Amino acid sequence: MVVTQRAARAVSATALLAGSVVLGTGAAAAVPSAAMTPSALPEASARPDASALRGASALPEPFAGIAPEADVSHHGHVLLWGAGLKVRMRTENHGPSSLTGVTVRVRISVALAGRQELPQSCLRADRRTVLCRTGSLRADGVQERRLALELRLAGRPDEVVVRVDTLWNGGATDRNPRNNDHKVLAPATGDEYVF
């Protein structure tokens, strides 16, 4: 028996409406026992076998929009002296999905000076915000991207609050935002304040 991709999707959609769950390519549908009445089961000749479904997409259409999951983390330190602010950080992805790129947002509680020399991967979003892209991040946490910002402030504040977070991660779900959303108070002592 030959089952087209369209027919396989129709069977998957019918199984979902009947209360079953379809897990990936070639996986059999798990139907609750309440739905296992003779009238609820398709005729034997209409049921596709698992080998016929192997050509279908990995996820049936109802699941095609599910976002991947990743765990992005940013760690580093902030150092303030006079009108200079250094932000050093490393960005990693602990998975389970790899990411094509991440945008890190660095927001400062005081205005930046008019002209800044930023790394090629960064741009200034407004008077207090810098955005930087990381490039791709594998899911194993071994690959890391390092970022070094040397910013000039408009004045010479006694302290600044620096907020580092993930602005964009390709639409992935991150269930552990504590390791990628940081708020650091940095007094103008020239000491490193870790996040």
Cis before 96? omega within 30: yes
Residues 6 or more apart in contact with residue 164 via CB below 8 angstroms:
74, 76, 87, 89, 104, 105, 106, 181, 182, 184, 195
Q: What is the pLDDT of residue 7?
A: 42
140 three-state secondary structure:
coil
Q: What is the pLDDT of residue 164?
A: 98
- The whole-model pTM stands at 0.67
Q: What is the pLDDT of residue 66?
A: 81
- Sign for the CA dihedral angle at 100, 140, 59, 54 comes to positive
Tens of pLDDT, residue by residue over 55-100, are 444 545 665 678 899 999 999 999 999 999 999 999 999 999 999 9
Residue 12 has pLDDT above 50, yes or no: no
With DSSP H G I counted as helix, E B as strand and the rest as coil, what are the percentages for the chain, rounded to 5? 15, 35, 50
State the alpha helices, DSSP H only, in the chain: 5-17, 50-53
Tens of pLDDT, residue by residue over 132-190, are 999 999 998 889 999 999 999 999 999 999 999 999 999 999 999 999 999 999 999 99
Tally the C-alpha atoms within 13 A of residue 26's C-alpha that lie toward its C-beta.
3
Tens of pLDDT, residue by residue over 27-66, are 333 434 444 444 444 444 444 444 443 444 454 566 567 8
- Rounded to whole angstroms, the Cα distance separating 91 from 106 reads 13
Q: What is the pLDDT of residue 179?
A: 96
177 three-state secondary structure:
helix
- Sign for the CA dihedral angle at 147, 138, 165, 182 comes to negative
Q: What is the pLDDT of residue 90?
A: 97
